[in-house]
Amino acid sequence: MSKRKKSLGRRIWESRSGYLFILPKFILFTIFVAIPIVWSFAVSFQEYRIFDTVWVGFENFREALDDPVFWRSLRNTAHYAIFVMPANVIIALVLASLINPLGRRPQTFYRAAFYLPTVASTVVLAMVWRWIFQTRFGLFNYFLSLVGIDPVNWLHSSATAMWSVILMAVLTPPGVGLILYLAAMASIPETLYEAAVIDGANAFTRWWRITLPLLKPTTLYLMIVSTIGSFQVFDQVMLMTQGGPGYATTTIVHRIYTAAFRDFRFGYAGAMALVLFAIIISLALVQYKVVSSDVEYKG
């Protein structure tokens, strides 16, 4: 055991320059991520006040499960995720499949064109979409007026508000997913396609039988990441609808935010955050179990 510890210590010492480079990032991660997570876990079992904190055990969790607003926010979030996650993955896959056969220069152009919107802040995109959905002079209602349809109150009607937020997410180009799919497609050996051509397979069959199965690891990753992002949606809701009208667009993260920073109920917000964490972990495990497969090929 002592030799093993000594060997580990020696390896750490030999790599000390690398550890020094990552030390600032590790310190920032500890201060702004690790410590808040531990604090949130601890505070979820308390009725947190600045000068008088009371331990309440699981009372915050019981209150969350009895809160109709919490369940409404959870349904809204699930509604958002059910449409946005598959749309992001499928659109990225289709676009990558169309771009991949092109030459180097067209690929570079389309990569940049679809990735650039992801560089823009979500706040900026939400403000642009809020103008597009504006009732009196928004772009959508302008197009509707051209065909004689009355203006739609997109963001201020409970029937259309959540659909408007979903539409914004679906129509935003999936730049990251596109780049990952193109990289994965480029790594598939050409010999597989050549053998399929010799066997008489057409383009769609080659895509269905070769490309799609070998993209499963990338698809799984994008599904999990997109699900996590969908359940954490906040910026669009906050800027476009502020959770309204009523609670029509209140998502679970928006509910956590209002409980913590509007109502100053940090313990209750921490409890809801832990419930959200458990939901995301469960969904990720289910997706991994269903979609994951061992993909192995040689170039």
Has residue 298 been placed in a domain? no
Considering the domain architecture, whether residues 228 and 186 belong to the same structural domain is answered as yes
Q: What is the mean pLDDT of the chain?
A: 89
Considering the domain architecture, whether residues 145 and 1 belong to the same structural domain is answered as no
Considering the domain architecture, whether residues 62 and 147 belong to the same structural domain is answered as yes
Q: Residues 110-152: pLDDT tens digits?
A: 998 888 888 888 888 889 999 999 988 889 999 999 998 889 9
Region 103-107: what's the mean pLDDT?
A: 88
How many folded domains does the chain comprise?
2
Has residue 197 been placed in a domain? yes
Q: Residues 221-274: pLDDT tens digits?
A: 999 999 999 999 999 999 999 998 889 999 999 999 999 998 889 999 999 999
C-alpha closest to that of 164 among 137, 142, 132:
132
Which of left, alpha, beta for 294 (phi over 0: left; psi -120 to 50: alpha)?
Answer: beta
Has residue 299 been placed in a domain? no
Considering the domain architecture, whether residues 190 and 272 belong to the same structural domain is answered as yes
Has residue 223 been placed in a domain? yes
Considering the domain architecture, whether residues 198 and 72 belong to the same structural domain is answered as yes
Has residue 296 been placed in a domain? no
Q: Residues 183-228: pLDDT tens digits?
A: 999 999 989 998 999 988 898 999 999 999 999 999 999 999 999 9
Has residue 49 been placed in a domain? no
SS3 of residue 46 by DSSP: strand
Considering the domain architecture, whether residues 3 and 128 belong to the same structural domain is answered as no
Considering the domain architecture, whether residues 122 and 30 belong to the same structural domain is answered as no
Has residue 51 been placed in a domain? no
C-alpha closest to that of 255 among 63, 70, 36:
70
Asked if residue 47 lies in contact with residue 270, where contact means CB atoms within 8 angstroms, the answer is no
Range of the domain at 1: 1-43
Considering the domain architecture, whether residues 185 and 240 belong to the same structural domain is answered as yes
pLDDT beyond 50 at 1: no
pLDDT beyond 80 at 7: no
